[in-house]
Amino acid sequence: MSRYTLRSVPVDLREQWDAFVSAHPNGHLLQSWSWGEIKASAQWHPLRLALWDGEQQQIVAAAQVLRRTVSHVPLGIGHLAYIPRGPVIDWTQPSLCEEFFSQLNGLLRRQGALALQLELGQESGVAESTLILKRLEALHAHPAHAVQPLRTIILDITLDETTLLAQMKEKWRYNVRLAGRKGVTVRTAQRDEDVQAWYSLLQTTAERDQFGVHTLDYYLKAWHIFAARNEMHLLLAEYDGLLLAGIFVAFFARQAIYLYGASSNEHRQLMPNHLLQWEAIRLAKQQGATSYDFWGIPDTEAEDEDMAGVYRFKRGWGGRVVQFMGCYELTYRPLIMNLAHKFISS
């Protein structure tokens, strides 16, 4: 009989779940309990599964599985299972991985999953990624379309502020100080009205830069859930009482992540976005984070001017470009999945 048992984690063990994920080297915000709550408001159904070691009496691996019914498939057969930035497991332990995926795949098959997608948070091109690819090959997993950004810039914020300022581009240092001199101030959102005001800016930003956004309720829910646990702050940059810009920054597993940003068309010459990011970095250090993730950059700098601007802005802070391993799929019911992919791509 195996010493390991895969168990569904009930809500009364939420703190134990978050403690394990947060402390694990492969832990990530997208595997936090709160993230599952957020996605539940966007038509996903979270299932938190922990591999329990009966000998050591502790969790040794975990996966927050988000499930969604496949639309346009006849009779609504089955669902897709998705693990964002996970699973939370030590890939160097072969017996642990074998036991975990054996039980996980069996459970998801019984529940009617058509396929499982793993959105890996490990960096590609390093020794660990080679080992993980071998494990995935043994599972007959194949590459799939990425959901999360494949590339990002991560800043090491264990350095002191003087060093962080020194390693960013000179123009970025100048803009941070310019915003302060010109009277731009940064504060943390305190009320629903602050989130609503920020959302108005987000709609302006989405129209200007041509991207889609969630509903106001989605961001309000995110703010309520995460802010109550000190896992997220909405930072707002203002000038003479006017809101100029705002960013959502999450804090989990000693990582700070810049998730959402919005800015006004007014007073852009005051450089509020530079001051916002600097204050977010400073806050992240105070929260005990060791890294700051700018959460997504384009594949190249020069594909189009808008995305090139995003790249240049994030690159100017002195961080390191990181390429993630991406998404892999374990297909349980190939015929239906082929049909589903045809509808999804049509």
Q: Please name which of 279, 187, 286 lies closest in space to residue 238, comparing C-alpha atoms.
A: 187
d(CA 189, CA 192): 8
pLDDT at 29 over 70: yes
Mean pLDDT, residues 234-258 taken together? 98
Q: What is the mean pLDDT of residues 296-313?
A: 74
pLDDT value, residue 69: 84
Question: What's residue 55's pLDDT?
Answer: 87
Question: 196-200, 272-276, 298-302: which range is least confident on average?
Answer: 298-302
For position 303, what pLDDT does the model report? 52
User: Residues 6 or more apart from 15 whose CB is under 8 A from it?
Assistant: none
Tell me what the mean pLDDT of segment 92-109 comes to: 97
* Model pLDDT for residues 204-243, shown as the tens digit of each residue: 999 988 889 999 999 999 999 999 999 999 999 999 999 9
Amino acid at position 172, single letter: W
Q: Is the domain covering 158-289 a CATH 3.40.630.30 domain?
A: yes
Beta partners for 81? 67, 116
Q: 4-148+324-345 in CATH: which number?
A: 3.40.630.30
Average pLDDT over residues 61-77: 76
Mean pLDDT of the chain: 93
Structure tokens given for 190: 């305190």
Residue written as tokens 């947060």? 22
- Scanning the structure block, which residue is given the tokens 């790249």? 311
What pLDDT shows up at residue 346?
Answer: 39
Asked if the domains 4-148+324-345 and 158-289 are classified in one and the same CATH topology, the answer is yes
Q: What is the pLDDT of residues 160-208, one digit of tens each?
A: 999 999 999 999 999 999 999 999 999 999 999 999 999 999 999 999 8
Tell me 221's DSSP state.
Answer: H
Residues 245 and 197: beta-carbon distance below 8 Å: no
- pTM of the full structure: 0.93
3-class state of residue 183 by DSSP: coil
Contact 186, 237 (CB under 8 A): yes
pLDDT at 342: 61
330-333: list long-range contacts, CB under 8 Å, 24+ apart: 330/105, 330/115, 330/116, 330/117, 330/118, 330/139, 330/140, 330/141, 331/114, 331/115, 331/142, 332/105, 332/108, 332/109, 332/113, 332/114, 332/115, 332/116, 333/78, 333/114, 333/115
pLDDT for the residue 335: 84
SS3 189: coil
pLDDT score, position 309: 82
pLDDT band at 286, cuts 50/70/90? very high
Question: How would you class 302 by CB atoms within 10 Å of its CB: exposed for 0-12, middle for 13-18, buried for 19 or more?
Answer: exposed
Task: Sketch the domain layout of the chain as residue ranges.
Answer: 4-148+324-345, 158-289
